[in-house]
């Protein structure tokens, strides 16, 4: 597929689509609220990508800088996973 705009930045893609400039592939966690609000409509509702993992790797668990701890907490909160 070719178009005038191509980006790997989700916020840019979402903003362009919401402004009426095409289609976008978003994570369900980002798309669902926009679909519920009626701002987006699903084009291929039965089509899904295979799942994928998200991993955080740190040198030592007992000696992580606070910014690393907060980053991991933010990722877990965003994706709704509280598993270690």
Residue 56 and residue 39 share a domain = no
> Considering the domain boundaries, does residue 64 fall inside one?
yes
Report pLDDT digits (tens) over 2-41.
Answer: 667 788 888 888 999 999 888 888 888 889 999 999 999 9
Total domain count for the chain?
2
Residue 32 and residue 58 share a domain = no
Note if the pTM is more than 0.85.
no
Reading the block at residue 52, the tokens are 């994928």
Residue 41 and residue 12 share a domain = yes
Local structure of residue 4 (DSSP, 8 states): S
Its domain, for residue 19, covers 8-45
> Considering the domain boundaries, does residue 2 fall inside one?
no
| Predicted local distance difference test score (pLDDT) of residue 41 | 93
Q: Compute the distance between CA of residue 1 and CA of residue 72 in angstroms, rounded to an integer.
A: 35
| Predicted local distance difference test score (pLDDT) of residue 37 | 96
| Predicted local distance difference test score (pLDDT) of residue 83 | 54
> Considering the domain boundaries, does residue 3 fall inside one?
no
> What average pLDDT does the chain have?
83
DSSP letters, 24-81, are ----HHHHHHHHHTTS---SSTT--PPP-------S-GGG--HHHHHHHHHHHHHHT-
Residue 79 and residue 62 share a domain = yes
Cα dihedral 47→44→22→9 (10° resolution): -30
């Amino acid at each position: 597929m070719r178009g005038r705009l191509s980006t790997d930045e989700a916020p840019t893609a979402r903003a362009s689509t919401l402004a009426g400039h095409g289609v976008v592939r978003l994570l369900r966690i980002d798309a669902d609220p926009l679909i519920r609000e009626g701002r987006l409509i699903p084009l291929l509702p039965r089509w899904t990508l295979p799942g994928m993992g998200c991993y955080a790797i740190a040198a030592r668990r007992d000696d992580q800088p606070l910014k690393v701890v907060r980053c991991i907490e933010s990722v877990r909160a965003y994706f709704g996973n509280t598993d270690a």
